Amino acid sequence: MAKEVNRILKINGQFAFVEISKPKNKLLIIPYMFYLKFLIPLIGKVFMGNSMDYRMLGIYCEKFVDCEKFKIYLEKEVYK
């Protein structure tokens, strides 16, 4: 993915990344994941008529964990 982002960006272009890492504070993980997995999809269904796109945020967050490794990977690819 980093190579593709680098390929399509103009010189000095910018890349935005929606970061949905799990909180580092263990007390916040359960309410945060409830919010991502249940409340956001419900809001998406009510206001946008589609809950599936929003349901994926919780799934991505569980698998992604945090963005530090991704940031390092992007920097290595961009500054090769």
Rounded-to-integer distance, Cα 12 and Cα 57, Å: 29
Q: Is the pLDDT of residue 3 over 80?
A: no
**Segment 59-80, tens digit of pLDDT:** 888 887 677 877 787 777 766 6
Whole-number pLDDT of residue 5? 79
Whole-number pLDDT of residue 63? 82
Name the residue ranges covered by the structural domains of the chain: 2-78
Rounded-to-integer distance, Cα 34 and Cα 77, Å: 34
**Segment 9-53, tens digit of pLDDT:** 888 888 777 777 888 899 999 999 999 999 999 999 999 888 888
Q: What is the pTM of this model?
A: 0.63
